[in-house]
Amino acid sequence: MRLAKAVLLHIQRRQPSPDSYFAFNLMLASLPIIPAGYFLRFVIEAEFRGVEVIAFTTIFFGIALWLADYMRSETAKPLTPARSIAIGLAQCLALIPGTSRSGVTITMALLLGQSREHAARISFLIAIPAIAGAALIKLWDLFHTAITPEWFTLGLATVVAGGSAYCCIVILLNIVNRMGYLPFVIYRLGLGGLLVWMIY
């Protein structure tokens, strides 16, 4: 809400601020996922839903997050349009199952000089239009199928998912501030290893 207010002040009264520039950069970061998600959704659902893919992406991007966290900058660099677009392009990789949308955007943000907490905040804020857009596409698909969805159940599940996600974000930010991203790296490597064991 604070960012939205800053954007309105920027547009209506010509009052730019750090919040309004930050919000505009977040909008830029949110753009690449829209065409990528729309045009690639059927290909990805058909070709990349295997357990082998999920095992590989879980391990690979877990290692990438560890390396990015290890090489991170202690002071956050400004979020420029170029950096924003790079983070947005990284978010497109999350269309591949097992990649983790938050994990891959945090990884890219860390590599581009953002601090741990700033990288997490950028990741969660650009999730809002990405998830909203994905939901609209899925609703469009539901309206054009012969199956009648359980709308009440779907709505209740959406509310529960939103509430639990908010709680998880609060917990994650506290963990990041105290411990960094190592617990999540360990989790991803452990899960990926378990999937490999199940496959072979």
Q: Give me the pLDDT at residue 196, please.
A: 95
Residues 106 and 143 in one domain: yes
Residues 10 and 68 in one domain: no
Residues 91 and 180 in one domain: yes
Which residue range(s) make up the domain with 140?
31-199
Q: How many domains does the chain have?
A: 2
User: For the chain, what is the mean pLDDT?
Assistant: 89
Q: Tell me which residue of 106, 120, 6 sits closest to 61, measured CA to CA.
A: 106
In this prediction, residue 13 has a pLDDT band, given cuts at 50, 70 and 90, of confident
Residues 42 and 133 in one domain: yes
Residues 88 and 182 in one domain: yes
- Tens digits of per-residue pLDDT, 74-117? 777 888 999 999 999 999 998 899 898 899 999 999 999 998 88
Residues 127 and 160 in one domain: yes
Q: Give me the pLDDT at residue 176, please.
A: 86
- How much is the average pLDDT of 22-30? 92
Q: In this predicted structure, which of 21-35, 87-101, 123-137 has the lowest mean pLDDT? A: 123-137
